[in-house]
Structure 1
Amino acid sequence: MKRFGMGRIAALAGVAAAALLAGPVAAQDAKELRMLWWGSQPRADRTFEVIDMYQEANPDVSIQGETVGWSDYWTRLATQVAGRNAPDVIQQDYRYLFEYGSRGALADMMPYRDEILALPGVSEEDLQSGMADGKLWGVNLGVNSVAMMVNATAFEEAGVRLPENGDTWAEVKELAIEVAEKSDQIDYGIEDSSGYEPAFQNWLRQRGKDLYTAEGQLAFDESDVVAWYEFWADMRDSGAAPPPDVQALDQRSIETNQVSLGNTAIGFANSNQLVGFSQINEDEIVMRVFPLVEGSTNEGHYFKPSQLLSVAASTEFPEDSMAFVNFFITDTEAGKVLDVERGVPISDQVREAIRPELDEDGLAQLEFIEGLDPYAGTLPPPPPQGAGEIDQMMISVGQQVAFGQLTPEEGAERLVSSAESILSR
């Protein structure tokens, strides 16, 4: 994935000094903030535009923007935090938020709520996803959920019906096999998600389980993992999913998703990413809920904070950082620029301001979230410290099982024992 921010500006301008700013050259006495986020090129362009808007309205503040892909993001953030060089404003994920908060890396935002972080149009309920022990570690940027990204063009040209909400995994498997056999465009039907934590969680929740308990322990066991690995082994053996060397090309970004690479007709992502998928794919991309586990009456989906904005505990300018967060989330003009690329805005006033201006993909995302109730359960407990490491381990172990280096049973034992060891630290 392309990197933007400092590298992007330097490459375009060819001047090293230009990499220090995301907008016009600031005054010498400007308060210099840094913001770090992950995402695609469309997200980078939108974010830099909002940064420019804020700097124009606040000439005493200069904001340097940095962005990298998901696969590199957490390594960079961890390195910067450990090196006492944390960005002032940090894009966070629900999986990692409380780990960083509990380690003292994030500022408690509650003391700023009355004036600087007023968050007009945001309900107290919407803030709960960023709170723990009475402290506000991050403010939700928008609401999303996991979704299947379906190449409608590939299905239509192959003469195969599109997957529909309410289809079971067995039905989606048959559709994946059929579209792979009949399409001249793609070689496989559905990406291999054996190492994709959100897909595993959705499947677990439909089976009455989850990733973690409220006490921060594993909520699944080895038998669940064995069943999951065997399920995806059957997908690969049937030709529905690609072999591991093809799936390994996916680096957890929109650009490297198997749908965007042209290898499969179905991929898995988050609903807010439809905008990015549509902008880099010529084919029509539509969203569907994850397939259902046959016979289950449990909801696998939930309304998830797409990302959250946090402020580093080490910032020299906490008030300015909080003010920028408030602007980013609740300013209606900023909302029109950001659109729904980061999820459906949590601010009522922003949501209503952008609704008339949403394009087809934006409306599709809004309608997806508004129609998710039959498939959505409660928000799971906050992931415990170490959950991010376990997520990365799931990718690694899933690949080892897919390549035949481990049996499903061996992979399950390694994943569970290693995850329990991480959680016990």
Structure 2
Amino acid sequence: MTLTIDRRSVLSGMAATLAFGALGVRGAMAATSMRFLWWGSKDRTERTFAAIKAYSGKAADVTIEGESFGWDNYWTRLATQTAGGNSPDLIQMDYRYIFEYARRGSLLDLTPYMGKGLDIEAFGDANINSGKVDGKLYGVNLGVNSGITILNKDGWAESGVEEPKDDMTWEQFADSCAKLTAAKKRRSFYGTQDASGLESALECWLRQRGKALYDADGAVAFTAADMTDWFKFWGEMRESGACVPADIQALDQLTIETSMVSLGKAAASFAHSNQFIGYQAISKENLGIVSYPINGTDGKPGQYLKPSMLVSVSAASPNKDAAVAFVNFLVGDEDAAKALGVERGVPASSKIRDFMAPTLDDDAKTVVDYIARLTPKVGALPPPPPNGAGENQFLLKKIAEEVAFKKTTAEDAGAKFAEQAAANIKRG
């Protein structure tokens, strides 16, 4: 058997997008060739190729080619390939988008494979149900995660300002960030990113106030006034110097590599817990994680546990059984666990968690410990996002930048976002 590895790396603008070519096992008996598409950092890509290589020892007749892109470019790529009839066999899927793709008939119903090649019954109902749409299974949970505030611990220590802790209020967070900026221990170094255009931060803020992004019927569950309050809060953060100015925040292309912490522009950013591994992998600084700030008035939980991502199989794949076999390997095999670690989240399989526990390095333990201490405080998983919700994530970023660059007011931006977000959902 001969192992052939061919990696093509393409850097696309500020998105720092990686596109990796084929890594496959090609031998005299090679009979099945599949494609796997995912988003993520360079670290995730290397781990995924390591898992593919491990699989080659168990299925030498299978070739798996891999491609990786940044978050924003990924969904454009997937949509284009799916519409063009060239969908990858294996698809890294997000909870937000699985409903759109499943209801369009683009994803394979995995329900018939349960217990027959797909052994995930021990994951528990919550972890299994996170991949269901209309009662059918279209995605398998690759890991459990939640939102985090990621901290440059070295930057906080240098400033002499106490770093944020779990259960710090938004007001306390703003004050600490303003003090760090004012300390001026580093040039052009601010307390936090400007998260006004970050949907995960907005969602937490809304849930803490008894609101939500979307209700169970798929309609927007916030008002223009809610959005105005959100944009005003971040406007005050910019005025106090607590967060980076607009021209610096514009460098963030929703990737780990272009985040404000990774670029050395801020001492705090918001991310997902599984991303901590990737953040620390590219940083020379000592990083840490705490929960999102809280609303100190009523204590409603804003955070929740969610599938960090899922893996799905294309309904158009000519290799459905082989694809399902690889999915089962990814989530239930010890060799896959060794390769993947917890970079995609804490494994849903208790067997795999127990296997990994003695081998976890400090970064992985940081993630697992965080999920453990957060779990008693979380709220329920929100209703599935409706069709059109994906557009609203990028709409929020666009309108938030307009406010930050003073092209519009918080009031006008709040009304504009509420109106256009509702229109996107209606059209979707």
Question: Structure 1 length normalisation: TM-score?
Answer: 0.94
> 1:403-418 alignment to 2 at 5 Å?
403-418=405-420
Deviation digits for residues 143-171 of structure 1 (CA, Å, limit 9, x no counterpart): 00010001111111121111111111111
Deviation digits for residues 326-361 of structure 1 (CA, Å, limit 9, x no counterpart): 000110121121111000000111111111111111
Instruction: Kindly report structure 1 stretches of 4+ aligned residues shifted beyond 6 Å.
Output: none
Query: Partner residue of 2:396?
Result: 394
Query: Matched residues in 1 for 2:121 and 2:366: separation?
Result: 26
Secondary structure at the residue paired with 1:7?
Answer: coil
Choose from 339, 342, 350 the match for 1:348: 350
Between 408-417 and 100-109, the greater mean CA deviation after superposition: 408-417
The answer as to whether partners of 2:26 and 2:60 remain within 8 angstroms in 1 is no
The answer as to whether partners of 2:154 and 2:286 remain within 8 angstroms in 1 is yes
1:264 aligns with 2:266: yes
Deviation digits for residues 90-138 of structure 1 (CA, Å, limit 9, x no counterpart): 0011111111111111111101112111226422331011112211110
Secondary structure at the residue paired with 2:68?
Answer: strand
Query: Matched residues in 1 for 2:223 and 2:341: separation?
Result: 40
Deviation digits for residues 213-247 of structure 1 (CA, Å, limit 9, x no counterpart): 01000010100000000000000011011111100
Secondary structure at the residue paired with 2:268?
Answer: strand
The answer as to whether partners of 1:5 and 1:65 remain within 8 angstroms in 2 is no
Query: Partner residue of 1:181?
Result: 182
Secondary structure at the residue paired with 1:371?
Answer: helix
Deviation digits for residues 11-31 of structure 1 (CA, Å, limit 9, x no counterpart): xxxxxxxx7631343447521
1:310 aligns with 2:312: yes
Query: Partner residue of 1:155?
Result: 156
Query: Matched residues in 2 for 1:236 and 1:329: separation?
Result: 43
Query: Partner residue of 1:214?
Result: 216
The answer as to whether partners of 2:225 and 2:415 remain within 8 angstroms in 1 is no
Query: Partner residue of 1:50?
Result: 51
Structure 2 residue identity aligned to 1:290:
Y
The answer as to whether partners of 1:157 and 1:183 remain within 8 angstroms in 2 is no
Secondary structure at the residue paired with 1:310?
Answer: strand
Query: Partner residue of 1:30?
Result: 31
Choose from 234, 245, 248 the match for 1:232: 234
Q: C-alpha root-mean-square deviation of aligned residues, in Å? A: 1.7
Secondary structure at the residue paired with 1:156?
Answer: helix
Structure 2 residue identity aligned to 1:74:
W
Between 21-30 and 329-338, the greater mean CA deviation after superposition: 21-30
Structure 2 residue identity aligned to 1:193:
A
1:358 aligns with 2:351: no
> 1:25-424 alignment to 2 at 5 Å?
25-27=26-28, 29-119=30-120, 121-185=122-186, 187-424=189-426
Structure 1 residue identity aligned to 2:49:
F
Aligned residue-pair number:
414
Gaps of at least 5 residues in structure 1 are 10-18
Report how far residue 8 of structure 1 moved. 2.7
Report how far residue 284 of structure 1 moved. 0.8
Secondary structure at the residue paired with 2:35?
Answer: strand
Query: Matched residues in 1 for 2:281 and 2:126: separation?
Result: 33
Secondary structure at the residue paired with 2:156?
Answer: helix
The answer as to whether partners of 1:165 and 1:288 remain within 8 angstroms in 2 is yes
Query: Matched residues in 1 for 2:126 and 2:32: separation?
Result: 33
Structure 2 residue identity aligned to 1:222:
A
Secondary structure at the residue paired with 2:26?
Answer: coil
Query: Matched residues in 1 for 2:72 and 2:227: separation?
Result: 23
Structure 1 residue identity aligned to 2:317:
T
